[in-house]
Amino acid sequence: MKSGKLIVLTGPSGVGKGTLVRSLLNRHPELCLSVSVTTRTPREGEIEGKHYYFVSRSRFEQMVEADELAEWAEFAGNLYGTPYFALTQGIGEGKWVILEIELEGARQIRNKFPEALRLFILPPSWEELERRLRSRGQDSESAIARRLLRAKEEIEAAGEFDFQVVNDDLEFALKKLEAILNLVDISGN
């Protein structure tokens, strides 16, 4: 099997991880995304197998029992996990695999794969995070409240990660991520 790298990207809900990851994937074919399983209901436009594998709680529990998940966690009332096959597939193709996951899962990956590079995305401010979460209009008020509560805990743990990147300006944040991942020369040349 060719060598590959695991890149863990964590940060509070609404910080813009999804947009950052999509832009990285578009620009760098050597990267691929680990598609997670979740018990969450699909949002409008989300595609099975592309954004997530949407499963029932009992199917998820079966996967945990069968040790099919490299990590998993409950987040805002739903279960999320990384199937081993999502990792081995990308690594087998010699790619760098990005895991866009929350804090508990990131900690499990650190314990299982200490060599994984762990990045934390921070919002420019708490007010801006709240504004972004509300403006995407995808979640109920109670889901937003749960996500904000969790965001506080996650931000407090940002120091556990190898690098912290503030997502203020998207292009600038992308450049920083690319520099960290050595995808471009840090001087911009």
Rounded CA-CA distance 32/53 in Å is 16
CA distances from 14 to 29, 63, 114, 151 (A): 25, 28, 27, 9
Residue 143 CB, nearest approach to ligand 5GP (Å)? 9
Give the position of tokens 């910080």. 15
Closer residue to ligand 5GP in complex, CB, 90/105: 105
Query: Which of positions 57-76 make contact with ligand 5GP (CB under 6 A)?
Result: 71, 73, 75
Binding mask 116-155 for ligand 5GP (x = CB under 6 A): ----------------------------------------
Residue 102 CB, nearest approach to ligand 5GP (Å)? 4
Q: Which residues contact 135 (CB under 8 A, 6 or more apart)?
A: none
**One of 6, 24, 55, 82 touching ligand 5GP (CB under 6 A):** 82
| Rounded to 5°, angle at Cα 79 from 49 and 66 | 80
Query: Which of positions 17-36 make contact with ligand 5GP (CB under 6 A)?
Result: 17, 36
Rounded CA-CA distance 181/189 in Å is 15
Neighbours of 37 (CB within 10 A): 20
- Grouping H, G, I as helix, E, B as strand and the rest as coil, residue 124 is coil
- Is residue 100 near ligand 5GP by the rule CB under 6 A? yes
Closer residue to ligand 5GP in complex, CB, 9/181: 9
Closer residue to ligand 5GP in complex, CB, 78/184: 78
Contacts to ligand 5GP by CB under 6 A: 13, 17, 36, 40, 71, 73, 75, 80-82, 100-102, 104-105
